[in-house]
Structure 1
């Protein structure tokens, strides 16, 4: 954010007016003291925003960990495999049928079929 502010105000010489925060008005702060105050306020606001983002991430991670500890599962519920899945899985392993054909017969994408073949006991 600070880098973008610098590019806009110094390199491109753009005036920025923040309507609900007159301290960040670059039109008025043209003198040395005004520029100094503006830079300090911007530094403080950037710090507060970054600190809040980190706090939010931390609280979110704590909430997710607590939910998982309670047994909450995230994401879509897993669809059950059709009864013929195991037979088709064995046929694919033996080379009697292609993975794509087996997936079609199970009414699932090929990638899902392959994933379930690898992760299903």
Structure 2
């Protein structure tokens, strides 16, 4: 029987075209033998609709390994992180995250049954704990941002141009939209705005932050 060769891949991501991937790529080179096997996206982590990521996801096979610099590079949405980690677990692909030492342990010294059990345990930890951490951190950032804005408003501080006729629900809806929880079209319908008006409101609001 022909021996199946497993491969080692890497995945890196930044949120915009202006950001540099070099730091993440350099950190993965010591683990990924061929730099051509490091897949890169310059897109937001709010969802998993990213071309390089999806190419890699569809390419990996059982026994393969994917190295990632840190959990946030994989994604930021708890439910989707969980779905993707479960996908890799079921497929038998190991996810290793550089700033999480537990995921870097080499299990090859154990027999196949124990090795599989330990890898399963690590992937379960990633699914149940790390995805929650990513979501919690995002919630904390939103909370700190909102508290800072509210405190400044109480002191009479004005932020940029006034947001004309924005309802109280705008802040929550805007944040949900940025995180991919709702679509721009659904908010245009909700507020009765045209596309151009909606994006003008968004631009004005972002300047005020």
The structure with the largest helix share of the pair is 1
Flag the structure with larger Rg.
1
TM-score, with length taken from structure 2: 0.30
Higher RCO structure (Cα 8 Å, ≥6 apart)? 2
The structure with the largest strand share of the pair is 2
